[in-house]
Amino acid sequence: MISFFVIIGAEGLGGKGLSGFLGALEQAGVKAEVMKTLSAEQAWAVRAVGFDAATSGPQVRAIAERYGFDLRISRAEPVKCKLLVADMEATIILDEMLDLMARDRGIGEAVAEITARTMAGELDFEQSLRHRTRLFAGTTQAELEALSRRIRIAPGARSLVQTMRATGATTVLATGGFGIFADEVARICGFDMVYANHPVMQGGVMTGELHDPVGTGATKKEVLLSCCAELGIDPQMACCIGDGANDIEMLQACGLPASYMGKPIVREIVELDIAHGDLTALLYAQGYARSDIVQNS
């Protein structure tokens, strides 16, 4: 049985851990050889023989973790995807924006707990979002705009988006968060399209309600499939990245599902969880070499 790994470390890690990792794989009964060096300091595509993902996958991932590598395991050689659909909060950006809004209003702990339980799959996303939005009634457009200037882009996000666009892929930001923040993130990173939720404003002030329909996890999957249909590609030629429960449906429907610091419920279903590298790891996972990557952190 033949499988393919993409081994990705943090930038500057170097190849010193690679030989140890390959040796540990051989001790576990998996013979692996480097097919291509994607980055001499960071990433390698590997062909593995004698590997059964169902029985050996957890052991191999544990070995990778021990050596400080993120790991994509697949049945086919890595190929460059034609479509990227990305979650925004705690993925393309580092924060949950409603949590930041809540801290400014002095209700940070209560809202952060709701957010965490929602992303862990314990609460219904739409009900949770409506509840949190009601807590922000009275927030002004000016306050939202000021908050958008505090957005922190995740390391490697701009390189991920701009590299895929440079090779002809379509890039889509699909979020359950607010459009005012998503539009700014799309501008900074260069996304082709944005799908987001929009709070109802009256006289430049949030009423606490949302415009219908509310985008949910099911909506993200619909966005993925709709974009694939428009591009005339199979969903297997798409990659998706997220971190929480409302990303699961789109992740399960694409060819390369990935997470960035994913919640446990998400890490169970993705081919790649990025825990050591930055978001350029998703480029390496598709077979991009370092020389292909637009260097724009």
CATH 3.40.50.1000 domain extents, the chain = 79-297
Q: What pLDDT was estimated at residue 15?
A: 64
Give 129-157 pLDDT, tens digit per residue: 999 999 899 999 999 999 999 999 999 99
Q: What pLDDT was estimated at residue 1?
A: 65
Phi, psi of 2 (to 5 degrees): -110, 135
Give 183-192 pLDDT, tens digit per residue: 999 999 999 9
CA geometry: angle 271, 187, 171, nearest 5 deg = 35
CA geometry: angle 264, 188, 257, nearest 5 deg = 30
Evaluated on CA atoms 186, 187, 188, 190, the torsion sign reads positive
Percent of the chain with pLDDT over 90: 74
Q: What pLDDT was estimated at residue 174?
A: 97
Distance CA 282, CA 230 (A): 23
Q: What pLDDT was estimated at residue 120?
A: 84
Q: What pLDDT was estimated at residue 76?
A: 87
Q: Which fold has domain 79-297?
A: Rossmann fold (3.40.50)
C-alpha dihedral over 24, 25, 26, 30, to 10 degrees? 170
Domain 1-78 sits in CATH at 3.30.70.260
The whole-model pTM stands at 0.93
